[in-house]
Structure 1
């Protein structure tokens, strides 16, 4: 399990095309990619299972705990991105609720754009 950051502080100011915003780049793919939004209520859980493909979980709101193969839980909150490799066992749970975006694709390489926490 690896944890990355995508918060505002890790982004870069964009001024191209007369723009004025900060972008935290996340990933770029050429092959099929599944992207979804997950809403975990209070005491919600994404049960312990193996990743079918590499996946990134981006915490947008709330906080919770994630683990990998070793079942050692790490606290995550807004701005954290958790990466699990294909076939890696993992779980996500929360006491208070959280909202997250999940990206699943064979070609995920978070180190391409994000720095590790």
Structure 2
């Protein structure tokens, strides 16, 4: 499990075509990808399971907790992205609600675009 961030501070100012915005690049893939938006309500959970393909969970609203194969939860929030390899066991849950974009593809190379997050907050939740 790796943690990345795509916050505004990680982005680049775009002015081409008379534009004025910040773009935080996330991913590029040459192979097909499944992209979806996941909505977890209060006390929602994506149960512990193996990733069917390399997977990127991009938190766009709210906060929650993720765990990988180790039995420790790490807090995630808006602006965080979590990467799991194919077959890696993982779980996502929230107490207050969370919205995330999920990208699954045999070819994900997040590290080319997003910086690794320097520190994750670990929590001993049960």
The question of a shared fold, defined as TM-score above 0.5 by the shorter chain, is answered with yes
SS at match of 1:4: strand
Residues 71-86 of structure 1 aligned to structure 2 (within 5 Å): 71-86=71-86
In 2: Cα distance, 1:71 partner to 1:62 partner: 23
In 1: Cα distance, 2:13 partner to 2:88 partner: 35
Whether 2:9 is the aligned partner of 1:9: answer yes
8 Å CA contact retained: 1:71, 1:90: no
> Counterpart in 1 of 2:123?
none
User: Which blocks of at least 5 consecutive residues in structure 1 are unaligned?
Assistant: none
The Cα shift of 1:30 comes to 1.1
The Cα shift of 1:64 comes to 0.2
Q: Deviations over 1:1-60 (max 9, x none)?
A: 111001101000011111111000000111110000000001000000000100000111
Q: Name the Cα RMSD after superposition.
A: 0.6
> Counterpart in 2 of 1:67?
67
Number of residue pairs the alignment of both structures matches: 117
User: Which blocks of at least 5 consecutive residues in structure 2 are unaligned?
Assistant: 118-126
TM-score, length-scaled by structure 1: 0.98
After TM superposition, the runs of 4+ consecutive aligned structure 1 residues lying more than 3 A away are none
8 Å CA contact retained: 2:2, 2:82: yes
TM-score, length-scaled by structure 2: 0.91
